[in-house]
Amino acid sequence: MTVASLPQKSAWKAYSDWANNHRKWLFAAPAMAFVAILIIFPLAWTLYLSLTDASGSVRAESEFIGFANYTEVLTDTDRFWPAVARTFIFTGAALLVQMVLGMCIALLLWRPFKGEKWVRVAILLPLVATPVAVGMMWRLIFDPNIGFANQALAWFGIPAQPWLSGQDTALATVIFIDIWQWTPMVVIILLAGLTSLSEEPDEAARIDGANAWQRFKFITVPLMMPTIIVAILLRSIDALKTFDLLYATKGRGGGSFNEVETLNVYAYGLSFDYNDYGLSSTVLIIFFLIIIAAMWVLTRRRKDVQK
Amino acid sequence: MQRTILRKAGITAAIAMFAGGSLAACGGSGGEGGEEAGSDTLRVTLANHVWTEQIIAAIPEFEEETGLTVEVTQLGEDQLSAQYNVQLNAGTDEIDVMMYRPLQEGKLFAQNGYLADLTERVEANSEWDWSDFQQGPVDSTTYEDKVVGIPTITEREVLYYRTDLLEQAGLEVPETLEELEAAAKKINEENPDVAGFVARTGKSPAVTQFSSFLYGFGGDFIDDEGNSAVASPEAKEAYAYYGRMINQYGPENVSTDMSWPEAMAIFTQGGAAFYTEADSLYQNATDPANSQVAENVGFAPMPAGPAGSKPYNVPSWGLGINEASKNQDNAWKFVEWATSQEMVLKIQQEGVPGPRQSVWANPEGTATYPEDLAAAIEVSAENGVGHDRPLVINVGEAREVVGEPIVVGITGGDVEDAAEKANEAFQKFLDGERK
């Protein structure tokens, strides 16, 4: 017997050595499992569905049809491309007004004043309301026959407007509602940025004789740039994906003429009204790619600013 | 502040998954947590309806009789559809009894195998008497010779009108569509604040109420060969008529998103003289708690077109049993109880028209109805058409296709052109389903 008898490691010791050497994997494992189950699996499944002709029931047999759905969606000028356009018009218009308006309000609230607390709470109110409730409320206000909006117009002798029920006015009206609801969030973010700014550059500029506009344009805005981009990033992702507000105000398909049908509403209709899961998944995957692209552009811009 | 932003970012990330994950998530849930066979708890999913309220009020009796516990989930129509879509797709066994729309989802659900075969059960109990159910409703809850559902509510389109406005204008109740248009025009001209006519305007919800006009002009959605018929001369006339009635004599700035709650609201607030709608909703108009014109509501059969008075006569709701349910025997007890002669009579007396011939033949069955409504229903049941939407598998999509010319007409657009386009799209749709 010449075999050297190595000291027997206990199983527990072996494990703890292994664990000690692979700490980073071990501690990250729960988080990674979470990501895999709740993000990667659904995404992969949707990607798979988008390559099949699944319809009727997800459990029904479906055929693998390659990129046929993608060809169909990308050449669809009746529903898909108008929905893409509406998604961007909605997001762009809402975002632009929210940023400008949000910045104005944040600047007004920047310096302490009497009753500041109450004003801040009042401004935050739209933000805490549920979008569906907000949608229902505005639907009543904008009702063409009995709504408050048209009554208010009547006091000034302005004829009644169709608002949400007009083919050309519906999209603008939902953009208005989105602005009403989400400007407060932009205000909060910008206000946080403003309060953390140091006074010195502003003071120095003032001594050098810069007027208020110059100080805003050349001092405040450049210093605020990282915060502004965060606000744009959060708001644009949210706005791109808006669903509840649109569905609560105009119902399925974004109205009878698809007036406010964005990509999200379109994809919902494809799966829940038409039961066409393959096509719906395709739209969602394309939509997902669009959001990723938008986020990538914005985060790159943010890094450039921070350099 | 920082925390708010972080939290917002977290929420945003969570929502981001919705875009990609919503569909796939449907596939993951369900499957586990199944009950033992013949559990004492019965899960019943019902839609918001007067019928449902009556059933829920009577459930304690059922529970006492059988010793079962009934858990009811009650949802609005659209939410109910979405719920079924998600849950049944996932093969859930957590729904035992389901209230569904035979004409809207019946074919799809049966084809997907969501509905249990009830053929043997309906024939087993002669006292409950399956042969007592009206033939039209029975046809639409039967799929490939198998009974997959029991009709619970039937409806026909009737004309709701304001007796006071008609009297004031010195008009008789219109019996033809021509007379209806003339009357609507006259009342609208004499009372600029009151619309002559209102009806559903949403592309999809309007289809069912438009169907009686379509049949009255002699058209249909699909012809005998199974091809699209929505561009026939009759259909074009019907589209033009329906659109013109709302465009010219309807409420000002009319929305094109109205389903029955919105259209009914205009009528019950005194905003319109005539309104065509399903008879099963009549209590909304005659109940003083909901209606400002309750005293002055009259009912008449659907006015006749060139082809006569041809309202739809359909089962709007039925009860089915989930194929994946492990509690089917108890589920059937519930269905049998809810559709028994006594229950149908009781509920019909409360204002929900039922599917049983014996109940209609029984004078008690219509005793609580306004007389003119009972008369209108009787006429409609005789000359009614058995469908109020295209009979296809994917009804949701079909309704949007054939509903397009309606909204074009309502907004004063080119109906002729819209009907041609809808015809082309509908033919493509039908060809797709036939594959």
Same domain, A231 and A270: yes
Mean pLDDT over B199-206 rounds to 95
Residue B280 to residue B278: CA distance in whole angstroms: 5
The Cα–Cα gap between A162 and B107 comes to: 38
B208 lies in some domain: yes
Instruction: With beta carbons under 8 A apart, name residues in chain B contacting A292.
Output: none
Q: Are residues A141 and A226 located together in one domain of the fold?
A: yes
Question: Any chain A CB within 8 A of the CB of B6?
Answer: no
* Chain B residue with Cα closest to A254: B257
Interface check for B433 against chain A (CB to CB < 8 A): the answer is no
Number of domains in chain A: 2
The predicted pLDDT at position A306 comes to 65
CATH number of the domain bearing residue B86: 3.40.190.10
Q: In degrees rounded to 5, what are phi and psi of residue B74?
A: -120, 130
Give the best residue of A110, A256, A265, A299 to mutate against chain B (max B CB count within 10 A).
Answer: A256
Do residue B221 and residue B145 come from a single domain?
no
What's the pLDDT at B28?
36
Domain boundary among B383, B400, B421: B383
Mean pLDDT across chain B, nearest whole number? 89
Report yes or no: B406 and B221 within 8 Å, Cβ to Cβ.
no
Which H or E run contains B233?
helix B233-249
Say whether A255 sits in a helix, a strand or coil. coil
Euclidean distance between CA atoms B157 and B136, whole angstroms: 15
**Percent of chain B having pLDDT more than 70?**
91
- B189 and B263 assigned to the same domain: yes
Contact B403 A42 (CB under 8 A): no
Whole-number Cα distances in Å, B77 to A1, A127, A146, B80: 82, 29, 25, 5
What confidence score (pLDDT) does residue B10 get? 44
Could you read off the pLDDT of B225-246 as tens digits, one per residue?
999 999 999 999 999 999 999 9
Query: Residue A66 falls within a domain, yes or no?
Result: no
Q: Are residues B63 and B78 in the same domain?
A: yes
Contact A145 B266 (CB under 8 A): yes
Residue A261 DSSP SS3 = coil
Chain centre to alpha carbon of residue B92: 25
Query: What is the residue whose two structure tokens read 């006594």?
Result: B342
Q: Based on the fold, state whether residues B244 and B343 are members of the same structural domain.
A: no
A188 reaches B (C-beta below 8 A): yes
Element (DSSP H or E) covering residue B421: helix B415-434
My answer on whether B138 and B277 are in the same domain is no
Distance CA B297, CA A213 (A): 66
pLDDT score at B406: 97
Same domain, A140 and A84: yes
Q: What per-residue confidence (pLDDT) applies to A9?
A: 67
> Is B242 within the bounds of a domain?
yes
A33 and A117 together in one domain: no
First to last CA, chain B: 58
Same domain for B341 and B200: no
Residues B209, B210, B211, B216: what is their CA dihedral angle, to the nearest 10 degrees? 120
Shared domain for A42 and A102, answered yes or no, is no
Q: Is residue B80 a part of any domain in this protein?
A: yes
Do B285 and B428 reside in the same domain of the chain? yes
- Count, residues in chain A: 307
Q: Of B430, B23, B115, B398, which Cα lies nearest the Cα of A273?
A: B398
CA dist list (Å): B40 to A3, B65, B98: 68, 13, 17
Q: Is B27 on the interface with A (CB under 8 A)?
A: yes
Buried b (16+ CB within 10 A) or exposed e, B189-203: eeeeebbbbbbbbbb
Task: State which H helix or E strand residue A174 sits in.
Answer: helix A170-195
Residue A6 pLDDT: 57
Contact at 8 Å (CB) between B186 and B171? yes
Helix (H, G, I), strand (E, B) or coil at B211: helix
Q: What tokens appear for B96 in the block? A: 């035992």
pLDDT value at B30 more than 70: no
User: Cβ separation of B15 and A160 shorter than 8 Å?
Assistant: no
The pLDDT assigned to B15 comes to 41
Please check whether residue A110 lies inside any domain of the structure: yes
pLDDT tens track for A152-171: 999 999 888 889 988 889 99
Give the CATH number, domain containing residue A275. Answer: 1.10.3720.10
- Enumerate residues 6+ apart whose C-beta is below 8 A from B140: B102, B103, B106, B151, B314, B315, B386, B387
**Residue A127 three-state SS:** helix
Instruction: Give the residue with greater pLDDT, B169 vs B26.
Output: B169
Q: Could you list the residue range(s) of the whole structural domain that residue A294 is in?
A: 76-306
In this predicted structure, what is the pLDDT of residue B16? 42
| DSSP track, B259-327 | -HHHHHHHHHTT-EEEEEEEGGGHHHHH-TTT-TTGGGEEEEEPPBBTTB---BEEEEEEEEEBTT-S-
Q: ∠ CA(B116), CA(B41), CA(B29), 5° rounding?
A: 65
Indicate if B59 and B100 belong to the same structural domain. Answer: yes
B180 and B48 within one domain: no
> Is A15 part of the contact surface with chain B (CB cutoff 8 Å)?
no
Same domain, A36 and A123: no
Helices (H), A76-169: 80-110, 116-128, 131-141, 148-155
Looking at the structure, tell me whether residues A42 and A145 fall in a common domain: no
Q: Are B337 and B201 members of one domain?
A: no
Domain span at B346: 38-154+314-383
Residue A290 in domain:
yes
In a domain, B16, yes or no: no
Residue B95: name the closest of B56, B48, B41 by CA. Answer: B41
User: What's the pTM value of the predicted model, to 2 decimals?
Assistant: 0.83
B121: tokens are 């059960």
Asked if the structure places residue B266 within a domain, the reply is: yes
Put simply, the chain B residues between 100 and 119 with a CB less than 8 A from any chain A CB are 108, 111-114
* Tokens read off for B260: 């029955």
> Do A101 and A185 fall within a single domain?
yes
Residues of chain A with pLDDT under 50: 1
Q: Which of B88, B253, B269 to mutate to test the interface with A (most CBs of A within 10 A)?
A: B253
Determine what percent of chain B falls in helix, strand and coil, rounding each to the nearest 5. 50, 15, 30
Whether residue A86 sits in one domain with residue A41: no
Instruction: Let me know whether B295 and B402 are in one domain.
Output: yes
pLDDT at B411 over 90: yes
What was the pLDDT predicted at B139?
86
How wide is the angle at C-alpha B73 spanned by C-alphas A266 and B128, nearest 5°? 115
Record: contact B24-A161, CB cut-off 8 A: no
Is the confidence at residue B418, as pLDDT, over 70? yes
Same domain, A179 and A285: yes
Instruction: Please determine, for residue B3, whether its predicted confidence score (pLDDT) is greater than 60.
Output: no
Residue B293 belongs to a domain: yes
Residue A160, amino acid: A
Rounded Cα–Cα distance for residues A81 and A284 (Å):
14
**Does the structure show a pLDDT above 50 at B319?**
yes
Check if A255 contacts B (Cβ < 8 Å): yes
* Overall domain count for chain B: 2
B372 in Cβ contact with B279 (< 8 Å)? no
B95 and B233 belong to one structural domain = no
- What sign has the CA pseudo-torsion A76, A77, A82, A88? positive
Do residues A86 and A39 share a domain?
no
Poorest-confidence range of A168-177, B78-87, B113-122?
B78-87
Q: Do the Cβ atoms of A79 and A274 come closer than 8 Å?
A: no
Judge whether B13 lies within some domain. no
